[in-house]
Amino acid sequence: MTAYHGSCFCGAVRFEAEGDLSQGTMRCNCSFCRKMRYWEMRLPDPERFRITHGAEMLAETPRRQQDGVDMHHMFCARCGTRLWTEGNLEEMGGRFVQVCVSALDDVSEAELIAAPVFYADGAHDAWWNPAPETRHL
């Protein structure tokens, strides 16, 4: 397990997250993730995520519809950098935090290249299944 440090582009928001890129990352084919170009690492323990600076600068992407899904996409209100997603979904094992890989500050190119990527089929609300096509993600 590695303690990663992350931040937004302007530095207003900073966080620490314990995870392991070598255990895998995720990209999704749902409309939100496609538009945002999300690439996330799920943390094994959501309690190992800490905002260290700038909580007052956080904003949340509003949901397009009220579908009862407890998922919150957080970003910096000043520069717009996507930072993490948190929520509570039974299909994902309950409470979770997934940090945006692009917001991690202390990750080498070699680690990014070596990190396995699971391409999820969120477009069909079946995140546990592989997406049928991934070349556009």
Residues of the chain above pLDDT 90, percent: 74
Confidence of residue 67 (pLDDT cuts 50, 70, 90): low
Q: Which helix (H) or strand (E) holds 37?
A: none
Q: Residues 20-34: what's their mean pLDDT?
A: 92
pLDDT tens figures, 88-127:
988 778 999 999 999 999 999 999 999 999 999 989 988 8
For the domain covering 2-130, report its CATH number: 2.170.150.70
Confidence of residue 66 (pLDDT cuts 50, 70, 90): low
Structure tokens at 114: 């070596």
pLDDT above 70 for 64: no
pLDDT above 90 for 82: yes
In the chain, what are the domain boundaries? 2-130
Average pLDDT value over all residues in the chain: 92
